[in-house]
Amino acid sequence: MTSKKVLTIQDVSCFGQCSLTVALPILSAMGIETAIIPSAVLSTHTGGFTGYTFRDLTEDIPAIGAHWEKEGVFFDAFYTGYIGSKRQLQYIKDIVKKNAKEGALFIVDPVMADHGKLYYGFDEAFAAEMASFVQGAEVILPNLTEAAFLLKEPYVESGYDKAHIEGLLRRLSALNGGDVVLTGVSFSRDKLGIAAYSKAKDSVHYYFEERIEGSFHGTGDVYASTFVGGIVRGLSLEDAADLAVDYTVRAIRATFPVRSEHWYGVRFEEALPYLVHRTEAL
Domain boundaries, the chain: 5-272
Nearest to 197 by CA among 170, 224, 223, 177: 170
Strand ranges inside 30-74, DSSP E: 33-44, 54-56
Best CATH choice for the domain 5-272 from the list 1.10.1740.10, 3.40.1190.20, 2.60.40.10, 3.90.45.10 = 3.40.1190.20
Backbone angles phi, psi at 180, to 5 degrees: -140, 135
What would the mean pLDDT of 102-109 be, rounded to a whole number? Answer: 98
- Give the separation between CA 264 and CA 187, rounded to whole angstroms: 27
Contacts of 81 (CB under 8 A, 6+ apart): 8, 9, 10, 11, 19, 20, 23, 109, 111, 221, 224
- Give the separation between CA 273 and CA 223, rounded to whole angstroms: 16
pTM > 0.75:
yes
One-letter amino acid of 70? K
pLDDT at 282: 85
One-letter amino acid of 93? K
- Give the separation between CA 123 and CA 205, rounded to whole angstroms: 31
pLDDT at 2: 59
Per the document, the length of the chain is 282
Q: What element of type H or E holds 127?
A: helix 124-133
Q: What's the pLDDT tens digit per position in 163-202?
A: 999 999 999 999 999 999 999 999 999 999 999 999 999 9
Residue 233 pLDDT grade (very low, low, confident, very high; cuts 50, 70, 90): very high
